[in-house]
Amino acid sequence: MSGSAATRAMGGERAVAYVDPDAVAHNCARLLDALDGSRLCAVVKADGYGHGAVECALAALGAGASWLAVATLGEVEGLRDGGIEAPILIMGALRDRAELERAIELHADLTLWRERSVTLASEAAAQVSGEARVHVKLDTGMGRLGTRDPAEASRVLTAALAAPCVRLTGVMTHFATADMLDDDGFFERQLAAFAAWAGEVKSAHPEVLVHAANSAAVLREPRAHLDMARCGIAIYGLDPFGEDPFAHGLAPALELSSYIAEVKLCRIGESTGYGRRYIAERHDTHIGVLPIGYGDGFRRALSGNADVLIAGSRLPLVGTVSMDNVAVDLGPDPAAHELCGAEAVLIGSSGSERITAEELARRMDTINYEIACGLSARVERRRGPRAS
């Protein structure tokens, strides 16, 4: 296939991320099966971890999720603009009264952990003739948002119960090491601390939702499931433990591909890319140039440190990842020129070969979250599986 024909076949796009809503639905069904009656809250912050928030939210809700969670007010606005009416929990901090008022207008739930915040939420709700639905957060060990003091959390809870225009909806915590199986018992200590406090809340207020588990905790420990679990990474088919999503029955929802825009001979002593980090030393070879780079979120740390799938074969990336291009060693066979225009898979499968986000994360000593979230807006998102 010629380069121009390949470009037309890909809709003129240099790099495409294919996101399969059916995979998201499958993963939600898998998690609901593990939850065995507990509710599923699908976390769709950061544009659905780079997969598309509205589309993934719709897929998750269609598969049985009953709540959504985000980090910011703007993310709520995006979901509501997309026609989504489901309950949405804002897990992050809101900056001021104006943000509180807007969140309440959008019928979003708030995460609070200070008595003063309850007063502000009550005043904001009265101002917009609404109701502030609040979740009180106890920090059992994450060390970020939330109060570390169970007594203070109880005072916030009492204030929420007494304040006009406020409804206590939930109590929550967040695990710091659920994805670390060898964590010296820290996960268990967090769970025990939260269970002791939340158990008293639940006894006094049975209608309050108690929630703590993230994706890793759902797969790790049924005792953490409680009334609801807030799952993010697993609904996208990524392994919360950073190993193999297929081992947990998860289906990766995203595949990333580009195409070979140019094939050129690289003779012994010649190089490709900035800094001449790759020089043909043993024999003449052919270099395939893909129009994707760190401007698209394919990170520079993968320079000479990744493979690409072309026509079912795993081939090494060589030279420096630049903003707009990467290079692949196609080998010495002159027939390599015939690959110009061929699809190149950077995340996904081709033939019997597969490259996962987890593989790329290991190569860069990071996590699969960063691989998916790091794809830039320059990469077109298409709904549905990639045609293989």
Residues designated as active site? 45, 274
Inter-residue contact 157 to 171 (CB < 8 Å):
yes
How distant, in Å, are the alpha carbons of 28, 151, 164, 181 from that of 191?
23, 17, 32, 14
Task: For residue 149, report the phi and psi dihedrals to the nearest 5 degrees.
Answer: -100, 110
The token pair at 252 is 């990766």
* DSSP-derived secondary structure letter, 138: B
The structure tokens 């996960």 sit at: 187
89 with 73: CB under 8 angstroms? Answer: no
First to last CA, the chain: 16
Residue matched to tokens 């709904």: 383
Q: How many residues does the chain have?
A: 388
Packing angle of the helix pair 53-62, 73-81 (nearest 10 deg): 70
Q: Please, are residues 70 and 44 in contact by the beta-carbon 8 Å criterion? A: yes
Q: What are phi and psi of 315, to 5 degrees?
A: -125, 145
Distance CA 136, CA 134 (A): 6
Contact at 8 Å (CB) between 347 and 254? Answer: yes
316 Cβ neighbours under 8 A, 6+ residues apart: 304, 306, 307, 308, 328, 329
- Measured CA to CA in angstroms, residue 213 lies from 232, 273, 332 at distances of 10, 45, 52
Instruction: Give the tokens for residue 325.
Output: 């291009």
Task: Label each residue of 172-185 as H, E or C.
Answer: ECCCCCCCCCCCCC
**167, containing H or E segment:** strand 166-172
